[in-house]
Amino acid sequence: PGLTNAWVMPIKTRIDMLATGIKTPVGIKVAGPDLKQIEKIGRRLEQVLKDVPGTASVYSERVAGGRYIKVDIQREKAARYGLNIADVQQIVATAIGGMNVTQTIEGLERYPVNLRYPQDLRNSPEQLALLPIVTGSGQRIALADVANVYVEDGPPAIKSENARLNGWTFVDIDGVDIGSYVQNAMAVVADQVELPAGYSLNWSGQYEYMLRAKEKLTYVVPLTLAIIVVLLYFNFRSFAEVAIIMGTLPLAMVGSIWLMYLLGYNFSVAVGVGFIALAGVAVEIGVIMLVYLNQAYRHMLEECEQEGVEPRLETLRHAVLHGAGLRVRPVMMTAAAIIVGLLPIMYGTGTGSEVMSRIAAPMVGGMLSAVILTLLVLPAVYLLWRKL
């Protein structure tokens, strides 16, 4: 009773604990001025979160359940016998913890000799109260004559963060992604847990990583797309051609989304990196296709000018088919090389495979749809643009 399991990877758990102090995917830090009230809130969180879908286990620290033997030294009584607090503390520390009185040497090995009272004279408050004390005048008294010895409740450990007392609740989840679980759990906690004034909840663990990554991706992704647009404009010197590539780019993501759905992957930082890499590769293939289409279009215009005829739709269609046909083999070879190279990473089982497979999956699925985009959609959009 009172024990719970948290099924986590050993190295990953150590990294998480060093970063956030939480050893489970999701953690809740309850902060406030009173440890007893913090423990009460933690127990309430246990009751509420165990019914949230996706919860494998939930355990709240018992921050106020410790039992201590307290030696309360009475200054007036000790002074009557010529003792001060330091004298009594040293006697208690020596009797219970012991004191190194000498050292025994056996060859190259040295062992300290520790002297303290036997176990049966220090195993209960009543026995400790009878510990003999010899005063400076040679009088023998008991510890109970100068101190009160009793058992007191107190916190087994005191945690603080941002100068506030803390109690932590550990939540292990199964079969659900962290983001949706925390959003659902937040709604349940806000509805069923009433926090007194001066107390607050902070959701931590891997959820903290997700929030940081989400914050970074909000400017990394737009910045990446902006850089791609600028480079495309420097290459083509035409906003129309840049718009063709960027407008058809989302179609390359279709295969990624479907493959992630089939593999049961949720969106994460690794998946976001895979999408960014896919965008770069898809744009690269699209740029080369557009270059060949432009070459075929200019060649058609030169032929029409030499023959003294106006370009017709049929001639334009033939030029687009010719330019796109020149890129069939290179596009297929590029996509095949990328997919074959990433399949071992996507299905690997070694160290770091969980992260690497989520980077590779969007690229593998995206290359399948990127081929269709490059060979079919891009030439069709180009034809419609030139026809106008």
> Residue 6: phi, psi to the nearest 5?
-130, 105
What stretches of the chain adopt beta strand conformation (E)? 26-32, 55-60, 66-73, 99-106, 109-115, 132-134, 140-142, 147-154, 159-161, 164-173, 200-205
145, amino acid identity = D
**Strand, helix or coil at 55?**
strand
Kindly report, residue by residue over 313-366, the tens digit of the pLDDT: 888 888 888 888 887 888 888 888 888 888 888 888 777 777 888 888 888 888
Averaged confidence pLDDT in the chain? 84
Mean pLDDT for the stretch of residues 31-50: 89
Q: Dump the DSSP string for 330-348.
A: HHHHHHHHHHHHHHHHHT-
pLDDT score of 15: 65
Q: How many CB atoms lie within 10 A of CB 252?
A: 28
Distance, in Å, from the CA atom of 311 to the CA atom of 318, rounded to the nearest integer, reads 11
> Token digits for 72?
């309360």
**N-to-C CA span, the chain:** 76
Mean pLDDT for the stretch of residues 90-112: 88
> Residue 289: phi, psi to the nearest 5?
-60, -45
pLDDT score of 104: 92
Residues 6 or more apart in contact with residue 293 via CB below 8 angstroms: 320, 323, 324, 378, 379, 382
> Token digits for 293?
């289409």
- Maximum alpha-carbon separation in the chain: 129
| Exposure string for 16-27, b = 16+ CB within 10 A, e = fewer | beeebebbbbbb
Is the domain covering 10-63+157-205 a CATH 3.30.70.1440 domain? yes
Does 185 score more than 50 pLDDT?
yes
Does 4 score more than 60 pLDDT?
no
pLDDT score of 65: 72
Multiple choice CATH, 66-154, 3.30.2090.10, 3.40.50.300, 3.40.50.720, 3.90.1640.10: 3.30.2090.10
pLDDT score of 153: 82
In terms of pTM, does the model score above 0.75? no
pLDDT score of 11: 64
Does 1 score more than 50 pLDDT?
no
Q: List, by residue range, all CATH 1.20.1640.10 domains of the chain.
A: 238-387
Contact 225, 279 (CB under 8 A): yes
Mean pLDDT check: name the lowest of 64-68, 126-130, 274-278, 355-359: 64-68
Does 31 score more than 50 pLDDT?
yes
Distance, in Å, from the CA atom of 274 to the CA atom of 356, rounded to the nearest integer, reads 9
pLDDT score of 19: 62
Distance, in Å, from the CA atom of 124 to the CA atom of 126, rounded to the nearest integer, reads 5
Contact 39, 167 (CB under 8 A): yes
Distance, in Å, from the CA atom of 235 to the CA atom of 237, rounded to the nearest integer, reads 6
pLDDT band at 20 (very low <50, low <70, confident <90, very high): low
Report the length, in residues, of the chain: 388
Kindly report, residue by residue over 263-313, the tens digit of the pLDDT: 888 777 788 888 888 888 888 888 888 888 888 888 888 888 888 777 788
pLDDT score of 110: 92
Distance, in Å, from the CA atom of 171 to the CA atom of 164, rounded to the nearest integer, reads 22
> Residue 110: phi, psi to the nearest 5?
-125, 135
Q: Which fold has domain 238-387?
A: Multidrug efflux transporter AcrB transmembrane fold (1.20.1640)
pLDDT score of 111: 92
pLDDT score of 34: 87
Q: List, by residue range, all CATH 3.30.2090.10 domains of the chain.
A: 66-154
Q: Would you give the DSSP letter of residue 81?
A: T
**Strand, helix or coil at 229?**
helix
Does 164 score more than 70 pLDDT?
yes
Does 99 score more than 60 pLDDT?
yes
Q: List, by residue range, all CATH 3.30.70.1440 domains of the chain.
A: 10-63+157-205
Mean pLDDT for the stretch of residues 25-38: 88
pLDDT band at 16 (very low <50, low <70, confident <90, very high): low
